[in-house]
Structure 1
Amino acid sequence: MLYLIILITIYKNMKQKIFKKPDWIKIKFSVKNINKIKKIKSFLKQNKLHSVCEEALCPNLIECFSKGQLTFMILGNICTRNCLYCNVMHGRPKIKYDKYEASKLANIIFLMKLRYVVITSVTRDDLHDGGAQQFVNCIKKIREKNSKIKIEILVPDFKNCIEKALKIFSNSLPDVFNHNIETVERLYKQIRPAGIYKKSLILLRKFKYLFPKILTKSGLMIGLGETKKELFNTIKDLKYNGVDILTIGQYLQPSKYHVPVSNYISLNEFNKIEIAAKKIGFKKVKCGPFVRSSYNAENYFS
């Protein structure tokens, strides 16, 4: 019944007026390091590894790959959820995970001479720990190769196993713990039906309580139909629940099968949101049309 309601909602949304993209949404590509882009893609393909940059159709892919930056995605490329804003494949993963994944990931990061790395994953509700142990495996292997590297992990909500996941993370902590709230609470049932807004906040709050010296981070998309009041209530919720770093970007519809853009936020409005969020007390805030949670992540940490 819930799935039928979701399909009806999508159909109604798709019949809404499709907005023409404003000039500030149009990316002008300038590929200076095409060989570096090809090399990264080749590395990933040869080692059967994934990047969320490719899987989620990130608009910053060419820019980031040109600079030798990417966000690795572990635990395969099939998500057990079907969020209606996300382009990552969904379904039932065929295997638990690649037992050599952590070692392969560490080797590539070492070869790329990265000083800062972001690791995310698909959501794996089929795993008893939500995939937390594989995050820890990756952190350990990466630090065996380079003890000075900074590691940010962008994790799912561990909806059914928060306590277990946090206990596992205590064995090997990242430098930055990131979990995206994604949108305001009212829109969860529409675009993130398997997620629970309050549980995402609980995860962030409990991690910060247990590990107060580790930076916490979260991000959300706007342009999905949220009101300004809802947006700032969400921003305040994140600050109240221990988030240090906040990112806010424009939602862009990956395909005609995803939730349409409700509205495009102007550059001036993004600037106002950033100023207001900084006043709320975050250590770092970045807002803009193409801002994504891990975009230029090293800059937020420095």
Structure 2
Amino acid sequence: MVTILDTTKDAAKRVRHPEKAHRPDTEIKRKPEWIRVKAPTSQGYKDTRKIVKENNLVTVCEEAGCPNIGECWDKKHATFMIMGEICTRACAFCNVITGRPNALDAEEPANVARAVAEMGLNHVVITSVDRDDLEDGGAQHFVDVIRAIRAATPATTIEILTPDFLRKPGALEKVVAARPDVFNHNLETVPSNYLTVRPGARYFHSIRLLQRVKELDPTMFTKSGIMVGLGETRNEVLQLMDDLRVADVDFLTIGQYLQPTRKHHEVKDFVTPDQFKSYETTAYSKGFLMVSASPLTRSSHHAGDDFARLRAAREAKLAALAG
């Protein structure tokens, strides 16, 4: 699945970012007991996989090697990754293929909407690869998918996890106008790590993106997430929390980084469950409506249940202010 191991005839087309392709091997550390999960084998998992394949869809659950895939797919929860499976960037933490993407699939919005209906999803998460090759970064495709889901299953709430739309004027505005219920854009890590972990992105651009969503639609929930274990300090994480609160972000997720292959960024340390609990407590004290912080936390893990809790938290906050 990783570009550097690809020996097909399209390999030359896809290995376009030498910073990941030529990274030296780094030892993959043994996971502690609190991170290990069982391989997926349930019938629910098999049923979900069948729906995904029959509709010719890509999921981030598979492409990113998410450790929660067995649990989520057993419950018929899946995060759809639109606009193909080839990304134009080469983040050192990510297991998605890097290279020159294929053309957009005009049938994908309808296929996603059909899968959402077949799976009976009350809440769906839509993410994508980075598409720096497109004039709008894929913004219109996000809009088309949102509209298709709304038409097929109007009661389904929609959460999107977008790229940063760097140097794509008007792209963000287009997506926000489609009115997803939750707008998520992950910072991924603290700013000191960006050059080595997320070299194609800009930390303060991502902060500004999230802030701009609230300016365009103050009622829209915003969300962001980071991985820990990449060499960040506690104080850097706390400063990142403050930056997100300045941008009025509602929901923060914090999870453990897990190294996909020897060619990816190494795990510097495994953060303990007690440390995650401390981050969660601190984040709530800074004013986030919702915080999910644990070794296996991922952006879309338990997203439906979390959305219900997020709405309840806002209603409680408004009621307290009114009282």
TM-score normalised to the size of structure 2? 0.87
- Per-residue deviation at 1:171? 3.5
Shift in alpha-carbon separation, 1:133–1:41, aligned structure 2, 3 A: same
What does residue 50 of structure 1 align with? 58
Displacement after TM superposition at 1:240 (Å): 0.9
Q: Give the Å deviation of 1:170.
A: 4.2
1:89 is displaced (CA, Å) by: 0.8
1:274 is aligned to 2:274: no
Match of 1:131 among 119, 135, 138: 138
Residue matched to 1:227: 233
Per-residue CA deviation, residues 4-23 of structure 1 (Å, 9 max, x unaligned), is 77788x43x827xx543221
What is residue 240 of structure 1 aligned with on the other side? Answer: 246
Amino acid at match of 2:172: L
Partner AA of 1:90 in structure 2: T
Which SS does the other structure have where 1:252 is aligned?
coil
- Structure 1: gaps spanning 5 or more residues: none
Structure 2 gap ranges (5+) = 1-16, 309-323
Cα distance change on mapping 1:106 and 1:285 into 2, 3 Å: same
| C-alpha distance in 2 between matches for 1:47 and 1:301 | 26
**Structure 2 residue matching 1:174: 3-state secondary structure:** coil
For residue 293 of structure 1, what is the aligned residue in structure 2? 299
CA distance in 2: counterparts of 1:20 and 1:192, whole angstroms: 24
- Residue 23 of structure 1 is aligned with which of 30, 33, 46? 33
Asked whether 1:217 is paired with 2:217, we answer no
For 1:202, the aligned partner's letter is: R
Rounded Cα–Cα distance in structure 2 between residues aligned with 1:257 and 1:206? 35
How many Å separate the matches in 2 of 1:82 and 1:30? 28
**CA deviations over 1:131-157 (Å, ceiling 9, x no partner):** 111111011111111211100000000
Contact 2:124 2:157 in 1 (8 A): yes
Deviations 1:75-97 (A, max 9, x none): 011000010100011100121x0
Q: Is the alpha carbon distance of 1:192 and 1:217 closer, same or farther for their aligned partners in structure 2, counting shifts above 3 Å?
A: same
Check the 8 A contact 1:245/1:300 in 2, yes or no.
no
State the shift of 1:45 in Å: 1.9
Cα RMSD for the two superposed structures: 1.7
Letter in 2 for 1:119: I
Equivalence for 2:213: 207
- The 4+ residue runs of structure 1 with deviation greater than 6 A are 3-8
How far does residue 191 in structure 1 lie from its aligned partner after superposition?
Answer: 1.0
CA offset digits 1:172-222 (Å, max 9, x no partner): 110000000000001000011111111111110111111110000000000
The answer as to whether partners of 2:40 and 2:69 remain within 8 angstroms in 1 is no
Per the TM alignment, residue 239 of structure 1 is displaced from its structure 2 partner at its CA by 1.2
Q: 1:107 aligns with which of 111, 114, 118?
A: 114
| Equivalent position amino acid for 1:66 in 2 | D
- TM-score, normalisation: structure 1: 0.92
SS at match of 1:216: strand
| Closer, same or farther: CA 28–7 of 1 in aligned 2, 3 Å | closer
1:20–1:139: structure 2 CA closer, same or farther, 3 Å change rule?
A: same
1:7-40 residue CA offsets vs partner (Å, 9 max, x unmatched): 88x43x827xx54322111224574xx2222222
Decide whether the 8 Å contact of 1:6 with 1:190 is kept in 2.
no
Matches within 5 A, 1:4-15: 10-11=23-24, 14=26
Which residue identity is paired with 1:191? V
Q: How does 1:254-265 map to 2 (within 5 A)?
A: 254-265=260-271
Distance 1:256 1:103, change over 3 A: same
Contact kept, 8 Å, 1:152 with 1:176, in 2: the verdict is yes
Partner residue in 2 for 1:167:
173
**Which of 41, 46, 49 pairs up with 1:38?**
46
Matches within 5 A, 1:59-98: 59-95=67-103, 97-98=104-105
Deviation at residue 120 of structure 1 after TM alignment: 0.2
CA 1:184–1:112 in 2, change beyond 3 Å: closer, same or farther? same
SS at match of 1:50: coil
